[in-house]
Structure 1
Amino acid sequence: MTTLSAPAGTVVGRPARDGGQSPVASRILEAAAVRFYTEGIRAVSADAVIADAGVTKATFYRHFPTKDDLVVAYLTVVAEREDARLDAWCTEHADDPAEVLRTYARAVGTQSCAPGFHGCPFINAAAEYPDPQHPVRLVVAEHRRRLLGTAADVLGRLGVHDPDAVALQLGMLRDGAMVAGDVGAPEAVTAALLRAGAAVVRAGRSGTDD
């Protein structure tokens, strides 16, 4: 995972004196993100993050009172970065909603086959936190809601009869591609995802998606 920094306007951990993002909190988050993604959230101790970030325990807990607070911050930042990228594609292809879906599919295919890829961080987190009311799961659920909501909006512009249902189907294809990437080539995974997605959209537009 590349360096994880909070998007502009997002503040994680204890704010700096001016109310902005604290550099120390950012350093803690960056250290945690690498371990959480590569090793699994439950497997990473607060002490390991403290050592990697080069801070004291007092400093760590001043910014993140519990490890769960740090996990929520990590997923929140990842979600906001993904949302911003998707929003940018929607803006870039405002007159071609089908290209938004194709661009997203190509990005998923490339990402899932990239070196160091360890699966979707949200699916991974959901597997480690089974309680649907846990704060971590709530972040995962909100991210999923926004992702499928954006897809449904795009599908509605394409004339799909039940955009919410078709958005869910595309989401399931996306999840499958994340797994297939572990054993496939980027070109093959991307091509398969594009073909399957196009078939789902065609069925949705004809009213035969069920």
Structure 2
Amino acid sequence: MSKSKPAVLLKAADGPVASPQTRILDVARALFCRDGIHATGIDRILAEAGASKMTLYARYGSKDALLRAVLTEEGDDWRRRFFARLDQAGPEPISQLRATIPALGDWFSGGKFYGCAFMNAVSEHRKDEVWLREMAAAHHRAILARFTDLGTAAGFAEPATLARQLLLLIDGAIAALMVSGDASVLDIARRNLEAIVNAALRTEAI
């Protein structure tokens, strides 16, 4: 059986080797997202990172603590890229809301789409793992806050309701894309987003 491709490059072509703790985090993030948390053992992470167990446990303490660090970084990075993509649609809040599905499309077609890291983590663990659910909820709250701000700026009567509708839409689209791998999901999601935004516009006009 051939060996799997390393999850990350440990050294840039023209840069220094990253620190052991950074390599551990980068490799764990790539493997947890691509291959799954339970399918990825500590020994594999350390082998690909070229790091020791002493370094891992001194810095992170446990696999759960490493997962917490991975989810923190993954969530921060995902939201940064997602919000930046909305910003690229221009200053108008409705244009940014309508950029939601194209932003998902960019992610889906970018070659590293493995679904939502938070939904994947919750699904792989016992449902009473409160800390995981709290991290996922915090990720959702940050997205809801952005959508609510955009709805408020657009003058919608119920921006918080709009935000919840859009969050439910993108969660469903991400799950459907993960299961089916079918890009037509994005067309359906886009039409649903238009219906949500247009309904909010009609309510505003009343």
**TM-score, structure 2 length as denominator?**
0.79
Could you report, residue by residue, the CA deviation over 1:61-97 in whole angstroms, capped at 9, with x for unpaired residues? 1111111111111111111112222443455556311
Aligned to 2:72: 76
Gaps of 5+ in 1: 5-21
SS at match of 1:68: helix
> Cα–Cα, structure 1 residues 26 and 69, in superposed 2: closer, same or farther, change >3 Å?
same
Per-residue CA distance 1:95-154 (angstroms, 9 max, x = gap): 3112212223102124235545322111111212322522x3322111110011111111
Give the letter aligned to residue 133 of structure 1. V
The amino acid that maps onto 2:202 is: S
Cα gap change, 1:96 to 1:3, in 2 (>3 Å) = farther
CA distance in 1, matches of 2:91, 2:106: 24
Residue 14 of structure 1 corresponds to none
**Quick one: percent identity of the two aligned structures?**
31
Q: CA RMSD in A?
A: 2.5
Cα distance in 2 for residues equivalent to 1:104 and 1:50:
37
Residue number among 171, 193, 197 corresponding to 1:197 in the alignment: 193
Between the two structures, name the one with larger relative contact order (CA 8 Å, sep ≥ 6).
Answer: 1
Aligned counterparts, 1:4-153, within 5 A:
23-89=19-85, 91-93=87-89, 95-112=91-108, 115-129=111-125, 130-131=127-128, 133-134=130-131, 136-153=132-149
Ranges of 4+ aligned residues in structure 1 off by more than 6 Å:
none
SS class of match (2:128): coil
The TM-score, its normalising length taken from structure 1, stands at 0.78
The alpha-carbon deviation at position 199 of structure 1 amounts to: 0.6
Name the SS for the 1:173 alignment partner: helix
The gaps in structure 2 that reach 5 residues or longer are 1-6, 10-17
Give the corresponding residue for 1:17: none
Corresponding residue for residue 156 of structure 1: 152
Aligned residues: 188
Amino acid at match of 1:149: A
Shift of 1:53: 1.1
Distance (Å, rounded) in 1 between the aligned partners of 2:110 and 2:182: 9
Question: Matched residues in 1 for 2:86 and 2:103: separation?
Answer: 14
Of 112-121 and 30-39, deviating more is 112-121
Q: 1:3 to 1:52 in 2, by over 3 A?
A: closer
**Hey, what's the Cα distance between the residues in 2 that align with 1:173 and 1:157?**
21
- Shifted more, 109-118 versus 51-60: the winner is 109-118
Given that residues 20 and 50 in structure 2 are in contact (C-alpha distance below 8 angstroms), is that contact kept between their aligned partners in structure 1? no
